[in-house]
Amino acid sequence: MITNTELNSSTATELVRQLYGETFSATETRYPETAPRDSERGTFQEPSQYERPKLKIKQLMPRPLARFPIEGNQLLATYDQSAFTARDILPHAVVQKPYEMNQIVRDFIKKQKRQLDLNKSLNTVSTRISEFMNRQGIKAKVVIDLETDTEYDDWTEPRIKVLVEPSELERVYGLFDRLLDFSLQHVRKREMKRFRITLDVG
Amino acid sequence: MRQKIIQEEESRTAIGRAYYSLYHVTGSVLQKKYSLQLIKEIQKAYPRKIDQRRLNRLDKQYLRSFNLHRIFYMTLFDLGHDTIAFQFKDFRSKRNDADYDLNLNFTEDQSRVIVHQIGNLVSKIGSL
C-alpha cells in the first residue's frame, strides 16, 4: 500500500516529473480526487477495494453528431477546420455496396423460397468479386441481372455479371478459377446452385 | 500469313459452335463415367415425368425432352467440380448472348478469347 507521504515525497514527484513531464500528476492518475479514502489510516483505498461506477450504454456511445453540419454523407469542416466523412466516425453507418442490382432481380428474389439466404449469398459473392478485382488491379463493374434461358423458360436465375474492359477479358478469364474459389468461399452449396457468375465486356 | 478478318456474325457463330462442342463432350463424359449421377439429377429435376426404363437406358431421344444444359451443370456441381460447373454455365450464357442478343457487340478478339477458354474447359472435362 502506498501512503500519501510516500506518494507526495519530493523524490517520487521529481522522478515522475522527469519521466512524464510537468503536466503529469501521479496522485490524479492512480488515485483520483473522487477515490474513497481509508478514514482510519488516512490513505487512499486501492481501486480494487471500491466499486467503480458502471458506465451505461448511452455513456459509451459516441458523442452526438448533431453539432456537425452534414451534407449528403459528408461532414463539412468543423470548428477546427478539419473535414472528414461520417464513415471515419461510424464505420458501419454509410456503406455503399460495390455492385448494382436491378429491381427485376429484387422482385424475383422476393418471390423465392429462402429469399434471405439467396440475397445474402448474392451480396457476399458480389462483394468478394469486387474485392478480388481490386486486389488484382483490374477495373471491373459488378451488376446483378436476371437471366431466363432463351430456350428453357424453367431456368431463370440471378446472373452476376463481371463487366471488364475488352482488353482485360483474356486476363480475367485466366483468373476465373481463382476468382470463383475466392468469391464462393463459405457459401452454402445449395445456395451456389441458385445463381450464375459470368465474365462480360462492358 | 495474313489472318482473315472475321465478321461479327462469324464471331457469334464461333461462340455457339464452341459451346456445343463443350456440351457434347460433357454429355459424353457424364454418360460414360457418371451415368448414375446423371440419372439421379434428372430424377431430382423432373420428379413427375420420368419413364424410368428409358431413363435407365439413357435413351437419346428421351434425354432430349429434358433441359440437359441445366442437368449437366447440376451433375458437375454435385460431383464436386464447382468451378468447372460455374464455367460451364458462364459459357451457356455466352452462347445465349451470342445467338439471341443483338444489342451486344461481339468483336473478333472477344470471340477468340471465349472460344479459346471453351477449348480449355473441354480439355478439363475430357480428363474428368
> How high is the pLDDT of residue A188?
93
Complete domains list, chain A, with CATH = 1-53 (no CATH), 59-94 (no CATH), 100-201 (3.30.300)
In chain B, how many domains are there? 1
**Residue A196: CA count within 13 A, CB half-sphere:** 26
- B1 in any annotated domain: no
Q: Which residues of B touch A193 (CB under 8 A)?
A: 74, 77
Kindly report, residue by residue over A125-163, the tens digit of the pLDDT. Answer: 999 999 999 999 999 999 999 999 999 988 999 999 999
Kindly report, residue by residue over B41-54, the tens digit of the pLDDT. Answer: 999 999 887 899 99
- Give the full edge-to-edge strand order of the sheet including A100-101: A100-101, A140-148, A156-164, A196-201
Residue range of the domain that includes B61: 8-126
- B91 in any annotated domain: yes
Mean pLDDT of chain A: 76
Residue of B nearest to A172 (CA): B113
Q: Which residues of A touch B89 (CB under 8 A)?
A: 196-198
Percent of chain A past pLDDT 90, that is, above it, reads 47
Q: Which residues of B touch A176 (CB under 8 A)?
A: 83, 87, 90, 117
Asked if B81 is an interface residue toward chain A (Cβ–Cβ < 8 A), one would say no
ipTM of the complex: 0.91
Residue of B nearest to A183 (CA): B83
Residue count (chain A): 202
- B37 in any annotated domain: yes
The CA distance from A173 to A176, in Å, is 5
In the predicted structure, residue B21 carries a pLDDT above the cut 50: yes
Residues 138 to 157 of A: which have CB under 8 A from any B CB?
147, 149-152, 154-155
Kindly report, residue by residue over B42-92, the tens digit of the pLDDT. Answer: 999 998 878 999 999 999 999 999 999 999 999 999 999 999 999 999 999
Asked if A168 is an interface residue toward chain B (Cβ–Cβ < 8 A), one would say no
In the predicted structure, residue A61 carries a pLDDT above the cut 60: no
Q: Under an 8 A CB cutoff, do B89 and A196 touch?
A: yes
The CA distance from B34 to B74, in Å, is 12
Q: Under an 8 A CB cutoff, do A155 and B117 touch?
A: no
> How high is the pLDDT of residue A4?
56
Cross-chain CB nearest to B96 (options A149, A184, A201): A149
Cβ–Cβ < 8 Å for B66, B45: yes
This prediction's pTM = 0.70
Kindly report, residue by residue over A71-113, the tens digit of the pLDDT. Answer: 555 555 444 445 555 556 555 555 678 899 989 999 999 999 8
